[in-house]
Amino acid sequence: MSNTRLSFEQLQNSDRFQDRHIGPDSKEQQAMLELLGLDSLQALIDKVVPESIRRQDVMAIDEGLTEQQSLRALKAMASRNRLLKSCIGMGYYNTFTPPTIQRNILENPAWYTAYTPYQAEISQGRMEAMLNFQTMVAELSGLQLANASMLDEATACAEAMTLCQRMSKSKGKIFFVADDCHPQNIDVVKTRAETLDIRIVTGNPLTDLNDLDIFGVLLQYPGSTGEIRDYRALCELAHEKKALVAVAADLLSLTLLTPPGEFGADVAVGNTQRFGVPLGYGGPHAAYMATRDEYKRSMPGRLIGLSIDSHGNPAYRLALQTREQHIRREKATSNICTAQALLAVMASMYAVYHGPAGLKKIAQRVQLSTAILAHGLELSGFSVLTQNYFDTITLDVSGEAEQYINRAVASGYNLRKLNADQISIALDETISTQDIEILWQVFAGDDCGLSVAELENEVNPQIPEALQRSSVYLTHPVFNTHHSETELMRYMRHLADKDLALDRAMIPLGSCTMKLNAVAELMPVSWPEFGGMHPYAPLDQAQGYAQLIEELEQLLCAATGYDAVSLQPNSGAQGEYAGLLAIRAYHESRNEGHRDVCLIPASAHGTNPASAQMAGMKVVVVSTDQHGNISLPDLKARLEKHGDQLSAIMITYPSTHGVFEASVVEVCELVHQYGGQVYIDGANMNAMVGICSPGKFGGDVSHLNLHKTFAIPHGGGGPGVGPIGVVEHLKPFLPGYSVFKNGPQHVGPVSGAPWGSAGVLPISWAYIKMMGREGLIQATQVAILNANYLAHRLKAYFPVLYSDPNGMVAHECILDLRPIKEQTGISVDDIAKRLIDYGFHAPTMSFPVPGTLMIEPTESESKQEIDRFCDAMIAIKKEIDSVQSGVMDKTDNPLKNAPHTVDAVTADEWGHSYSRSLAAYPVASLRAAKYWSPVGRVDNVYGDKNLVCSCPAISEYETA
Amino acid sequence: MMKSLVITLNGDDRSGIVESLSKIIVQHQGEWVESRMANLSGKFAGILLAKLPEENCDTFKATLKASLQDLNITIESADSSKAQNQQQCYKLNLVGQDRPGIIHRISSLLVKNGATVEDLESEVIDASMSGEQLFKANITLCLAEGYTIEALGEALEQLANELIVDIELG
Ligand SMILES: Cc1ncc(COP(=O)(O)O)c(C=O)c1O
Lowest mean per-residue pLDDT among A327-331, A341-345, A810-814: A327-331
Average pLDDT for residues B24-29, to the nearest whole number?
91
Which spans in B2-148 are helix H? Answer: 17-27, 57-67, 102-112
Residue of chain A whose alpha carbon sits nearest to that of B124 = A850
Q: Is A718 on the interface with B (CB under 8 A)?
A: no
Query: A468 CA distance to ligand 1 centroid (A)?
Result: 43
Q: Could you report the predicted ipTM of this complex, rounded to two decimals?
A: 0.84
Q: Which residue type does A942 have?
A: Y
A285: left (phi over 0), alpha (psi -120 to 50) or beta: beta
pLDDT given for residue A957 in this prediction: 59
pLDDT at B85 over 90: no
Over residues A271-284, the pLDDT tens digits come to 999 999 999 999 99
DSSP B27: H
Partner residue opposite A320 with nearest CB, options B99, B129, B161: B161
pLDDT at B42 over 80: no
The minimum-distance atom of ligand 1 relative to the CA of A573 is 11
Over residues A671-697, the pLDDT tens digits come to 999 999 999 999 999 999 999 999 999
pLDDT at A958 over 70: no
Separate counts of helices (H) and strands (E) for chain A: 34, 25
Per the prediction, chain A carries an average pLDDT of 96
Specify the higher pLDDT residue, A461 or A195.
A195
Average pLDDT for residues A835-840, to the nearest whole number?
98
Q: Are the Cβ atoms of A829 and B161 closer than 8 angstroms?
A: no
pLDDT at A612 over 90: yes
Closest Cα partner for A563 from A728, A333, A400, A437?
Answer: A728
pLDDT given for residue B84 in this prediction: 37
Q: How many whole angstroms separate alpha carbon A833 and alpha carbon A158?
A: 37
A136 — phi, psi (to 5°)? -55, -50
pLDDT at B28 over 80: yes
Average pLDDT for residues B32-37, to the nearest whole number?
84
Over residues B52-64, the pLDDT tens digits come to 998 998 999 999 9
Over residues B115-139, the pLDDT tens digits come to 888 788 888 889 999 888 988 998 8
Lowest mean per-residue pLDDT among A107-116, A181-190, A737-746: A737-746
pLDDT at B82 over 50: no
* Chain B environment of A850 (Cβ under 8 Å): 125-128
CB of A733 within 8 A of CB of A581?
A: yes
Q: Where are the domains of chain B?
A: 2-82, 88-169
Query: A906 CA distance to ligand 1 centroid (A)?
Result: 41
- Quote the distance between the C-alpha of residue B70 and its chain's center: 18
The minimum-distance atom of ligand 1 relative to the CA of A335 is 11
Q: Are the Cβ atoms of B160 and A945 closer than 8 angstroms?
A: yes
Over residues A14-39, the pLDDT tens digits come to 789 999 999 999 999 999 999 999 99
| Residue A215: strand, helix, or coil | strand
Average pLDDT for residues A732-758, to the nearest whole number?
96
Query: A337 CA distance to ligand 1 centroid (A)?
Result: 7
Average pLDDT for residues A70-84, to the nearest whole number?
98
Q: Is B166 on the interface with A (CB under 8 A)?
A: yes
Lowest mean per-residue pLDDT among A71-75, A123-127, A459-463, A480-484: A459-463
- Quote the distance between the C-alpha of residue A129 and its chain's center: 16
pLDDT at A959 over 50: no
A473 — phi, psi (to 5°)? -150, 160
Q: Are the Cβ atoms of B97 and A832 closer than 8 angstroms?
A: no
- Quote the distance between the C-alpha of residue A729 and its chain's center: 29
Lowest mean per-residue pLDDT among A28-42, A667-681, A909-923, B149-163: B149-163
Q: Which long-range contacts (CB under 8 A, 24 or more apart) does A625-631 make?
A: A627/A659, A627/A802, A628/A603, A628/A655, A628/A657, A628/A659, A628/A801, A628/A802, A629/A655, A629/A657, A629/A659, A629/A661, A629/A663, A630/A601, A630/A655, A630/A661, A630/A663, A630/A667
CB of B134 within 8 A of CB of B126?
A: yes
Q: How many whole angstroms separate alpha carbon A362 and alpha carbon A910?
A: 53
Q: Are the Cβ atoms of B95 and A327 closer than 8 angstroms?
A: yes
pLDDT given for residue A90 in this prediction: 98
Q: Are the Cβ atoms of A847 and B129 closer than 8 angstroms?
A: yes
pLDDT given for residue B169 in this prediction: 65
Q: Are the Cβ atoms of B162 and A322 closer than 8 angstroms?
A: yes
Over residues A220-237, the pLDDT tens digits come to 999 999 999 999 999 999
pLDDT band with cut points at 50, 70 and 90 for residue A210: confident
Ligand 1, pocket residues at CB < 6 Å: A 337-338, 511-512, 571-573, 605, 607, 652, 656, 681, 683, 705, 720, 722
CA distance A32 to chain B (A): 29
Lowest mean per-residue pLDDT among A3-17, A46-60, A376-390, A558-572: A3-17
Q: What is the DSSP string of A344-386?
A: HHHHHHHHHHHHHHHHHHHHHHHHHHHHHHHHHHHHTTPEE--
Q: Is B79 on the interface with A (CB under 8 A)?
A: no
Average pLDDT for residues A828-832, to the nearest whole number?
97
pLDDT band with cut points at 50, 70 and 90 for residue A606: very high
* Chain B environment of A316 (Cβ under 8 Å): none
Q: How many whole angstroms separate alpha carbon A143 and alpha carbon A153?
A: 17
Closest Cα partner for A623 from A597, A646, A604?
Answer: A604
pLDDT at A843 over 60: yes
> What residues contact residue A558 under an 8 Å CB cut-off, 6+ apart?
A59, A60, A61
Which spans in A816-892 are helix H? Answer: 818-824, 828-837, 863-885
pTM of the model: 0.93
| CATH architecture, domain B2-82 | 2-Layer Sandwich (3.30)
pLDDT at B80 over 60: no
| Residue A34: strand, helix, or coil | helix
Q: How many whole angstroms separate alpha carbon A887 and alpha carbon A898?
A: 18
- Name the helix (H) or strand (E) containing A249: strand A244-249
pLDDT at A436 over 80: yes
- Quote the distance between the C-alpha of residue A255 and its chain's center: 27
pLDDT given for residue B78 in this prediction: 57
Q: Are the Cβ atoms of B132 and A947 closer than 8 angstroms?
A: no
| Interface contacts A/B by beta carbons within 8 Å | 79
Separate counts of helices (H) and strands (E) for chain B: 4, 8
* Chain A environment of B161 (Cβ under 8 Å): 296-297, 320, 944-945, 947
pLDDT band with cut points at 50, 70 and 90 for residue A482: very high
pLDDT band with cut points at 50, 70 and 90 for residue B87: very low
Pocket test for ligand 1, best of A151, A511, A614 (most atoms within 8 A of CB): A511
Q: Are the Cβ atoms of A827 and B126 closer than 8 angstroms?
A: yes
Indicate the class that CATH gives domain B88-169.
Answer: alpha beta
CB of A274 within 8 A of CB of A93?
A: yes
> What residues contact residue A917 under an 8 Å CB cut-off, 6+ apart?
none
pLDDT given for residue B121 in this prediction: 85
pLDDT at A960 over 50: no
Name the residue with the closest Cα to ligand 1, atom 10: A572
Query: Which of A846, A937, A942 should be substituted to probe chain B, the one whose Cβ sees the most B Cβ atoms within 10 Å?
Result: A846
Q: What is the number of other CB atoms lying within 10 angstroms of the CB of residue A289?
A: 31
Q: What is the number of other CB atoms lying within 10 angstroms of the CB of residue A207?
A: 7
CB of B36 within 8 A of CB of B84?
A: yes
Q: What is the number of other CB atoms lying within 10 angstroms of the CB of residue A124?
A: 24
Q: Are the Cβ atoms of B127 and A326 closer than 8 angstroms?
A: yes
Q: How many whole angstroms separate alpha carbon A475 and alpha carbon A459?
A: 31
Average pLDDT for residues A896-918, to the nearest whole number?
97
* Chain B environment of A847 (Cβ under 8 Å): 128-129
Pocket test for ligand 1, best of A326, A335, A507, A705 (most atoms within 8 A of CB): A705
Q: What is the DSSP string of A860-871?
A: TS-HHHHHHHHH
Lowest mean per-residue pLDDT among A163-177, A465-479, B16-30: B16-30
pLDDT given for residue B86 in this prediction: 35
pLDDT given for residue B81 in this prediction: 40
pLDDT band with cut points at 50, 70 and 90 for residue A203: very high
Same fold, B2-82 and B88-169: yes
Query: Which of B54, B98, B129 should be substituted to probe chain A, the one whose Cβ sees the most A Cβ atoms within 10 Å?
Result: B129
pLDDT given for residue A848 in this prediction: 96
pLDDT given for residue A169 in this prediction: 93
Q: Are the Cβ atoms of A297 and B157 closer than 8 angstroms?
A: yes
